[in-house]
Amino acid sequence: MHKYIIRRLLLTVVVVFGVTLLTFLSIHMAGDPTIFYISERASKEERLAARQRLGFDRPLHIQYLDFVVNLARGDTGTSLQHRVPAFDVVMERMPATLELTIGGFLLSTIVAFPIGVLAATRRGTMTDGTLMLGAMLGQSMPSFWLGLMFIMFFAVTLRWMPVSGHVPFIKPLLEGDAGLALANLPEAIRYLLMPMVAVSVYSISRNSRLIRSAVLEVLRQDYVVTARAKGLNERAVMMRHAIRNALIPIVTVLALQFAFLLNGVIVTETVFSWPGVGRLVFDAVSKRDVPLVMTAVVLLSFLFVGANLIADLMYGFLDPRIRLE
């Protein structure tokens, strides 16, 4: 197990290396970032001087190697827009993104599970048809549109929910102020609710369809038939035999879903003025803030790979026959 984890962690380095390389190349392929950090009245000489000062005059491979070497030292550079360390800028937004992603992940898992299982056990019935139609609709609705509709209905028309904004929960916790986190909790949930639902509707729809398929697959297995033949009631058959065995493909998908949610928050963060990394990166890309984009990509890659690693480790708990070597 330990060897496996170490191997995966080493692979993480390779993945992060690959992701940063691709990001670095694509951001530079869009043109010279220098022009965003000089006056539009700058002369050609001033432009060249700024290019030199910002280090963009060096060959691309040197710039990239420099980044990697500095990254290994824990230095991700200074944000060109914010003029403070890029790592600090990303980290002060990370808690808000995690709140939204974890919230969306939990919601999509908790809601998708019963829907998927119910649809599988009632296969071919009106319930199954209705649930799957709902899932299809959920997958068809873009999250930004859904977000705006939520705002129009729940915030503007009914006035039940706040339009936009954020009350922190994870950030005070990380800063060691549990009292403040707890005091913030009710408002934090109120502000989180609409963006969380908007970001998770697609995942709920997709997951419920996958869970339905996985459970249906297991229900066809001999051991389920045997369990029923033994006279076990349906609840016991489902809980002890069907769902547990269906969990492995589901966990794999859920881990990927977490990463998918991380990507999806960019739009949702914009619609709900959520102060997360997605919005930050979107803005940084449009202003070619290379250090900030690279730092965010590195941190998000670690999260992505971490989620997959957790999923792999869970296989062993779910099915003792699987040994991670």
In the complex with other proteins, the residue whose CB is nearer, 134 or 275, is 275
259, 304 Cβ separation under 8 angstroms: yes
CB 165: neighbour CB atoms within 10 A? Answer: 12
Q: Is 77 helix (H, G, I), strand (E, B) or coil?
A: coil
Among 71, 135, 151, 262, binds other proteins (CB under 8 A): 151
Among 20, 86, 93, 135, binds other proteins (CB under 8 A): 93
Smallest gap from residue 89 Cβ to other proteins (A):
7
Among 55, 134, 162, 249, binds other proteins (CB under 8 A): 162
Smallest gap from residue 180 Cβ to other proteins (A):
5
**First-to-last C-alpha distance (Å) of the chain:** 6
Q: Confirm or reject binding of residue 167 to other proteins (CB under 8 A).
A: yes
Contacts to other proteins from residues 267-286, by CB under 8 A: 270-276, 279-280, 283, 285-286
Largest CA distance in the chain: 86
- Tell me how far CA of residue 225 lies from CA of 30, 119, 218, 222, in angstroms: 59, 19, 10, 5
Contacts to other proteins from residues 46-85, by CB under 8 A: 46, 49-50, 53, 78-85
Task: Name the DSSP class of 237.
Answer: I
Among 164, 213, 221, 252, binds other proteins (CB under 8 A): 164
Span interacting with other proteins, options 114-122, 177-185, 206-214, 242-250, rule CB under 8 A: 177-185
Smallest gap from residue 264 Cβ to other proteins (A):
16
Taking alpha carbons only, the member of 213, 212, 216, 242 closest to residue 227 is 242
- Tell me how far CA of residue 219 lies from CA of 224, 237, 239, 285, 319, in angstroms: 6, 9, 12, 48, 17
- Tell me how far CA of residue 34 lies from CA of 3, 49, 159, in angstroms: 45, 10, 46
Q: Which long-range contacts link 187-190 to residues 24+ away (Cβ below 8 Å)? A: 188/99, 190/161, 190/162
In the complex with other proteins, the residue whose CB is nearer, 54 or 119, is 54
Smallest gap from residue 308 Cβ to other proteins (A):
28
Q: Which residues bind other proteins (CB under 8 A)?
A: 30-32, 35-43, 46, 49-50, 53, 78-85, 89, 92-93, 96, 148, 151-152, 155-156, 159, 162-168, 177-180, 182-184, 186-187, 191, 270-276, 279-280, 283, 285-289
